[in-house]
Amino acid sequence: MTDISQIGISPEEIINYLKSEMSLREVCQKILYQRIINKVAQEKDIIVTTEEIEIEADRQRREQRLEKAVDTLTWLAKQLVSPYDWEIGIRNQLLAPKLAQTLFAKEVEKFFNQNRQEFEQIVLYQIIVTCEKLAQELYYQIEEGEISFYEAAHIYDIDEHRRQKCGYEGKIYRWAIQANIAEVVLGTPPKRIIGPLKSEQGYHILMIEEVIAAELTPQRYEEIINNMFQKWLAGEVENLLNSYEIYIDTF
């Protein structure tokens, strides 16, 4: 098993390198996160079982295509990690979501219902041109059926990628729409032509193809609970650091 001392790298060199890369704060923050997770999990009697660790280890072995025990040991050695270190890492990976579930599982649905509109999506198409006169002409031509929205986007849009997709922007969350055009766009029924609207990019002609109602899918559930957990962790670290500063100031 190779470790950092055997290849002539000291812990001090690692810290100095992290400082030079402006990465030390991020690493220290992750260490503090893990301390808090361990502390609160212990207080709440949350554990990761040996069986759970073995299942995740097997999954990682399959992912790395490690068929034999010696293959696993070789892979770990290349990462400068011992089997014990690997087990601790797996435990930490599994402990965090368990704690998140304990702390916030009951809050997810409430948060989703209170912010349902923010999770609505629209299937958006748009054309952006730099000339106001051209934007007006295209708008009227599309309205009169002289050219389709998709054809106009394919010919005139300033963005090559969007031209290739005939104006398709994708599924967009309400909060991701530019503030100066969101009110008009979100107040217009699907399939209606909107515009021209001016922004720093140019003149927009838009069309909502579909409004996708908000739904608490498993993926969205995970996104919400992960966001809650990360905000909680950040707050706990900030409180910890503030307490440390207060402690220092008393001396």
Q: Which domains does the chain have, with CATH numbers?
A: 11-110 (no CATH), 117-212 (3.10.50.40)
Cβ distance 84 to 131 under 8 Å? no
Helix (H) or strand (E) holding 81: none
Cβ distance 120 to 173 under 8 Å? yes
User: Which pLDDT does position 3 carry in this prediction?
Assistant: 65
Q: What is the pLDDT of residues 64-109, one digit of tens each?
A: 999 999 999 999 999 999 999 999 999 999 999 999 999 999 999 9
Cβ distance 24 to 15 under 8 Å? yes
Quote the CA–CA distance of 118 and 175 in Å, as a whole number: 6
Cβ distance 98 to 88 under 8 Å? no
pLDDT at 195 over 90: no
* Cα angle 220-187-176, degrees, rounded to a multiple of 5: 40
Cβ distance 117 to 213 under 8 Å? no
Residue with tokens 């900030």: 238
The band of 245, judged by pLDDT with boundaries at 50, 70 and 90, is low
- Looking at every residue in the chain, the average pLDDT score rounds to 91
pLDDT at 181 over 90: no
